[in-house]
């Protein structure tokens, strides 16, 4: 059975492209998968923006891998599992930490600018790592160095067909199998059926669902929402990681991150009274895991009636700070702040979606023909709290595994996807001019205020009611990228609030004010969601104004 798709462009002639492998997303996960797959298959890679507009591009601290002489994959595993607060999938973590060092060495061949001293790679330290193990490039510019090198390798050294400014609206499924994706071209507004034997979802995270986030504008959770509509299992949506040190300047949605590597290099956290406080919460002090640091900060802020604490690097050498953290220092200067001489106001900020599309250790989702890798995926490596700098590593390791699994999957396919046809229904009734930007603001405001770092039952109930009202009110006149993004963000926000309400305990990054304790007996388990089979055919389709 073929399901119907987006009801916006009745009767329009659709373009068509055909690939063996279709990769959706141009961050570390998508580029790694595409470059690897193109050694053997015809590969197309689509991204809704440009290659320098990704979360990968913004990464600062670096990539964790057990490559130092005193390190071992088993030690990296212990740190990861300990940070994960009882919910890591140990098999997946084992894959991550054992295959990680080799993948990082391969990446260094593509991106030779990782920081070295006397020919030796420099290893940084971050919270909850028991020793320095973070490789970095350009000081705190790891993401842009890695992104640029991978994009160049895809453009010049591989046969990947690259399409920028191409927005994926929906996955295409036939007989329950994923056979490609429907896209909207941002330049000419045309729709294209991209048919493929295998589709790799690498669309990144969803930080933009919150009113304040470190994530770029493209991080609207499209991948998780479209996979859910296509019938894939998604899980752990309540585990949204808030980074302890976002720059606390009021009125900005996209917040500057101040990398954890600064605390790794000796910076302190101080409360408004000027006291270091983290030792009172954890013996590791400022280098405890992110969730523990956030809890400490929240307690201090509450006690002092403040909305921020301070990061103090004034005891560190000014010239060295500039050299080691060029991005952070430049960003702060834009706000007239000097890292070497001033206390920097910081507060927890939405940073990373731990939950996502469920995969096994080969990146396979529950929908045949659909793989997922990177932040969009839930491989199980992060448990209830991601260990710093394990995310870029996850994209590298699991995209490589996806590529290795393709032979097995494509080899078994008999049917040629080129012959499938798709029925895009006529446009629905006209909209009522719903205000897209206003809807996005209402949504992010509800998420920030009521589904944020510290959660309570009454707030979560109220948030669900408001998100439900917003979902049923929206009747857009025209469906473009902004409208699809709002609908995807509503799907994500609603699922985060639902799962956060269900989980009546505090674990990892999920903090319930009304259930402050860990409850292993009831809650050492995942919350997995899947659209019921009877809803999948048309209930899972984006229609005008319905999420």
Ligand X SMILES: Cc1cc2nc3c(=O)[nH]c(=O)nc-3n(C[C@H](O)[C@H](O)[C@H](O)COP(=O)(O)OP(=O)(O)OC[C@H]3O[C@@H](n4cnc5c(N)ncnc54)[C@H](O)[C@@H]3O)c2cc1C
Catalytic amino acids?
Answer: 290
Q: Is 244 in the site for ligand X (CB under 6 A)?
A: no
Does position 28 interact with ligand X (CB under 6 A)? The reply is: yes
Distance CA 341, CA 333 (A): 12
Find the shortest distance in angstroms from Cβ 416 to ligand X.
25
Structure-token pair, residue 426: 């006529």
- Give the residue from 55, 64, 22, 50 showing the smallest Cα distance to 396: 64
- Cβ 506 to ligand X shortest distance, Å: 23
**Which one of the spans 202-210, 246-254, 361-369, 417-425 is the region binding ligand X (CB under 6 A)?**
202-210
**Which of these, 352, 416, 425, 355, lies nearest to 389 by C-alpha position?**
352
Residue with Cβ nearer ligand X (241 or 271)? 241
In this structure, what token pair is assigned to residue 248? Answer: 């606390």
Cα distance between residue 447 and residue 450, in whole Å: 5
Angstrom distance (rounded) from CA 467 to CA 495: 10
Provide, rounded to whole angstroms, the least separation between the CB of residue 497 and ligand X. 21
Task: Show the site string, 318-357: x = touches ligand X by CB under 6 A, - = not.
Answer: ---------------------------------xx-----
Minimum distance from residue 272 beta carbon to ligand X (Å): 26
Give burial (CB, 10 Å; 0-12/13-18/19+) of 425. Answer: middle
Residue number with the shortest CB distance to ligand X? 27
What does each C-alpha distance from 505 to 103, 300, 304, 384, 512 come to in angstroms?
37, 21, 25, 12, 6
24 binds ligand X (CB under 6 A): yes
292 vs 388 by CB, closer to ligand X: 388
Residue 55 interacting with ligand X (CB under 6 A): yes
Is residue 62 at the binding interface for ligand X, with CB under 6 A as the rule? Answer: yes
Which of 8, 60, 359, 506: binder of ligand X (CB under 6 A)? 60
Considering the complex, state which of residue 135 and residue 463 has its C-beta at the smaller distance from ligand X.
135
Which span (114-122, 374-382, 457-465, 536-544) binds ligand X, by CB under 6 A? 374-382
Using the contact rule CB under 6 A, the part of the chain among 90-98, 246-254, 385-393, 523-531 near ligand X is 385-393
Q: Minimum CB separation from ligand X for residue 481, in Å?
A: 8
Q: Is 119 left (phi over 0), alpha (psi -120 to 50) or beta?
A: left
Quick note: the x/- pattern for ligand X over 213-242, rule CB under 6 A, is -xx--xx--xx-------------------
Q: Let me know: does 39 contact 459? Beta carbons within 8 Å.
A: no
Q: Which residues contact 128 (CB under 8 A, 6 or more apart)?
A: 79, 82, 83, 284, 287, 288, 289, 290, 387, 388
Q: Which stretch binds ligand X (CB under 6 A): 60-68, 172-180, 302-310, 445-453?
A: 60-68
Nearer CB in complex with ligand X: 202/406? 202
Backbone dihedral region for residue 368 (phi beyond 0: left; psi -120 to 50: alpha; all else: beta): beta
- Residues 34, 59, 248, 332: which binds ligand X (CB under 6 A)? 59
Q: By CB under 6 A, tell whether 56 contacts ligand X.
A: yes
Q: How many CB atoms lie within 10 A of CB 432?
A: 11
Paired sense of beta strands 43-46 and 15-24, if any: parallel
- For the chain, the 3-state helix, strand and coil shares in percent, each to the nearest 5, are 35, 20, 45
Strand partners, 21: 43, 198
Residue 126-165 contact track with ligand X, rule CB under 6 A, x = bound: ----------------xx----------------------
- Retrieve residue 317's tokens: 């050498």
Distance CA 39, CA 62 (A): 27
The contact pattern for ligand X, residues 256-295, with x = CB under 6 A and - = no contact, is -x--------------------------------------
Buried b (16+ CB within 10 A) or exposed e, 256-269: bbbbbbbbbbebbb
Q: Quick check: 199 binds ligand X (CB under 6 A)?
A: no
Cα diameter, the chain: 69
Query: Exposure of 198 by Cβ count < 10 A (0-12 exposed, 13-18 middle, 19+ buried)?
Result: buried
Give the C-alpha separation, 54 to 36, whole Å.
20
Of these, 22, 23, 29, 191, which contacts ligand X (CB under 6 A)? Answer: 29
- Closest contact distance (angstroms) between CB of 257 and ligand X is 4
By CB under 6 A, which span of 20-28, 86-94, 463-471, 524-532 interacts with ligand X?
20-28
How many residues interact with ligand X (rule CB under 6 A)?
45
Of 25, 285, 345, 452, the one binding ligand X (CB under 6 A) is 25
**Does 194 help bind ligand X (rule: CB under 6 A)?**
no
Smaller CB separation from ligand X, 19 or 523: 19
* Member of 158, 389, 444, 491 binding ligand X (CB under 6 A): 389
Give the residue with the Cβ less far from ligand X, 93 or 460.
Answer: 93
**Closest separation between CB of residue 59 and ligand X, Å?**
4
Residues 511 and 453: beta-carbon distance below 8 Å: yes
Of 230, 233, 257, residue with least CA distance to 351: 257
Pick the piece of the chain touching ligand X (CB under 6 A) from 66-74, 97-105, 188-196, 211-219. 211-219
Site stretch for ligand X (CB under 6 A), options 40-48, 95-103, 190-198, 502-510? 40-48
Q: What is the DSSP string of 199-245?
A: EEE-----GGGSSSBSS-TT-S-HHHHHHHHTT--EE-TT-EEEEEE
The smaller minimum CB distance to ligand X, of residues 443 and 460, is found at 443
Q: Which residues bind ligand X (CB under 6 A)?
A: 24-30, 46-49, 54-56, 58-63, 142-143, 167-168, 202-205, 214-215, 218-219, 222-223, 257, 351-352, 374-376, 389-392, 395
């Amino acid at each position: 059975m073929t399901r119907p798709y987006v009801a916006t462009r009745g009767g329009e002639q659709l373009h068509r492209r055909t690939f063996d492998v279709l990769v959706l997303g141009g961050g570390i996960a998508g580029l790694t998968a595409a470059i690897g797959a193109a050694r053997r298959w015809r590969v197309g890679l689509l991204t809704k923006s440009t290659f320098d507009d990704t979360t990968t591009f913004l990464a600062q601290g670096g990539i964790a891998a057990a490559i130092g002489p005193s390190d071992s994959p088993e030690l990296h595993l212990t740190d990861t599992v300990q940070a994960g607060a009882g919910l890591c999938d140990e098999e997946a973590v084992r894959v991550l930490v054992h295959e990680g060092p080799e993948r990082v060495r391969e990446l260094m061949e593509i991106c030779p600018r990782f920081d070295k001293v006397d020919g030796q790679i420099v290893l940084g330290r971050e919270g909850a790592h028991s020793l320095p193990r973070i490789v970095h490039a350009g000081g705190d510019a790891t993401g842009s160095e890695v992104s640029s090198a991978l994009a160049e390798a895809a453009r010049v050294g591989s046969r990947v067909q690259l399409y920028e400014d191409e927005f994926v609206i929906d996955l295409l499924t036939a007989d329950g199998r994923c056979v490609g994706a429907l896209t909207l071209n941002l330049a000419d507004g045309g729709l294209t059926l991209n048919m493929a034997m295998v589709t790799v979802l690498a669309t990144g995270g969803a930080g933009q669902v919150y009113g304040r986030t470190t994530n770029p504008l493209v991080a609207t959770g499209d991948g998780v929402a479209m996979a859910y509509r296509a019938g894939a299992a998604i899980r752990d949506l309540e585990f949204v990681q808030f980074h302890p040190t976002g720059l606390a300047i009021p009125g900005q949605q996209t917040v500057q991150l101040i990398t954890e590597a600064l605390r790794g290099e000796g910076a302190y956290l101080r409360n408004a009274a000027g006291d270091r406080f983290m030792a009172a919460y954890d013996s590791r002090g400022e280098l405890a895991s992110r969730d523990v640091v956030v809890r400490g900060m929240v307690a201090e802020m509450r006690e002092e009636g403040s909305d921020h604490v301070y990061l103090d690097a004034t005891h560190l050498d000014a010239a060295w700070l500039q050299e080691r953290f060029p991005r952070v220092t430049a960003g702060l200067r834009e706000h007239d702040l000097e890292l070497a001489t001033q206390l920097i106001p910081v507060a927890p900020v939405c940073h990373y979606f731990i939950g996502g599309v469920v995969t096994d250790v080969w990146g396979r989702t529950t929908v045949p023909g659909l793989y997922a890798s990177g932040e969009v995926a839930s491989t199980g490596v992060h448990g209830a709290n991601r260990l710093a700098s394990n995310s870029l590593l996850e994209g590298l390791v699991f995209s490589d595994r996806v590529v290795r699994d393709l032979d097995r999957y494509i080899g078994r396919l008999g049917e040629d996807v080129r012959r499938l046809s798709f029925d895009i229904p006529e446009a629905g009734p006209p909209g009522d001019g719903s205000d897209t930007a206003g809807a996005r603001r209402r949504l992010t405001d509800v998420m920030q205020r009521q589904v944020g770092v510290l959660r309570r039952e009454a707030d979560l109930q109220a948030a669900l009611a408001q998100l439900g009202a917003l979902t049923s009110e929206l009747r857009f006149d025209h469906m473009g990228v902004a409208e699809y993004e709002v609908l995807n963000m509503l799907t994500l926000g609603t699922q985060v609030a639902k799962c956060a309400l269900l989980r009546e305990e505090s674990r990892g990054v999920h903090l319930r004010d009304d259930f402050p304790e860990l409850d292993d007996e009831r809650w050492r388990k995942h919350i997995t969601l899947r659209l019921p089979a009877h809803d999948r055919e048309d209930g899972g389709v984006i229609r005008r104004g319905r999420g």
